[in-house]
Structure 1
């Protein structure tokens, strides 16, 4: 596996397509944090993000095995685009699914409280990430999406513009206004990271 640590993404893809599963393991380990974080911020649910993350890599593996990958060295943006599309598909499906509510119109899963916070929430870094996510949640969807794709998935504005079907200037504007809004909210709430 040490042989693969210096290999490019493209070399790892080719090696996996030739039957070497260790190459895929290196590729997954190299990019898993960025892909998972971008999914988690979009869906705002750790457990759902884990499921979608697995779906992303199942789709990636299927595509690679069928030799349909042709992104030429742009593995991470391609993988993040797959993740983004799966998140969008999930939300489309959820919109069509009726929610089970209590007598006062509260979603039953909010009452049950399925997801419990882990004990390590007290760590400063974790608290800062939570504050950033809270601020991101307050932004309009278009601004939040651009910030997530730029800062968490490391996509270029050109890639973001293509993925979100807007111009590069629109993507830049959404990023700028999103960051300005977050800064303003931090001042108003006297919040520090």
Structure 2
């Protein structure tokens, strides 16, 4: 019996594959999930922390990630075709994105030479009125981002707010660098179209 065979192996043994542990957990072996958690917790925790840069938030999202993993496994929603850790990290990644959107705690919009979101660079020493203008601009940009297709929205958030390289974005979303670049390019095109359609002013103070 699979569960009995797995119990004979040390927790986290390299001889036990992720899918074997998943099947054992679904069959009722709680220790199999503990082995999965022990094996992958550091990578998942680091991924979350890299994005949020806050230990308390990381702990909360880490726990929420594995609660979702448990629910999905018990509901039979895990696709064996992909690697388990990549699947878990996607769940964690989506929770991070949801956290930023829900709490609206993203840092100010950041532009780069290659991808200028606003066409302006914030200046130091602003007065209260100027800071209010910039805060409104940031809020308007977030609303624009919310209207983007999910794949484009994800890349914009990672690049603009989280300061991730396109190599990191490609790795975290499981696509090629060219695909990540393309999604960013189309996202900016769509955002500029929305700005023109609604006659929005996105100039910083």
Normalised by the length of structure 1, the TM-score is 0.54
- 1:43 is matched with 52
- 1:58 is matched with 67
Deviation at 1:50, TM superposition (A): 0.3
Which piece of structure 1 moves more, 74-83 or 62-71? 62-71
Q: 87, 105, 108: which is aligned to 2:96?
A: 87
1:112-155, Cα deviation, whole Å (9 max, x unpaired)? xxxxxxxxxxxxxxxxxxxxxxxxxxx744751655567xxxx4
Q: Gapped runs of 5+ residues in structure 2? A: 1-6, 106-127, 129-158, 183-205
Q: Gapped runs of 5+ residues in structure 1? A: 97-103, 105-138, 162-166, 174-193
- Taking the TM superposition and a 5 Å limit, the aligned residue runs for 1:136-147 are 140-141=160-161, 144=164, 146=166
In the aligned structure 2, how far is the partner of 1:22 from the partner of 1:169? Answer: 41
Contact 1:160 1:171 in 2 (8 A): no
Count of aligned pairs: 124
- 2:111 is matched with none
Aligned-partner SS, 1:144: coil
Normalised by the length of structure 2, the TM-score is 0.52
In the aligned structure 2, how far is the partner of 1:172 from the partner of 1:30? Answer: 32
- 1:120 is matched with none
- Taking the TM superposition and a 5 Å limit, the aligned residue runs for 1:17-166 are 17-95=26-104, 140-141=160-161, 144=164, 146=166, 148=168, 155=171, 159-161=173-175
In the aligned structure 1, how far is the partner of 2:8 from the partner of 2:89? Answer: 26
Deviation at 1:68, TM superposition (A): 1.4
1:38-96, Cα deviation, whole Å (9 max, x unpaired)? 10010110110000000000000001011111143510110000000000001111129
Max Rg structure: 2
Q: CA RMSD in A?
A: 3.3
Could you say which structure has the greater relative contact order, defined with CA pairs below 8 angstroms and 6 or more residues apart?
A: 1
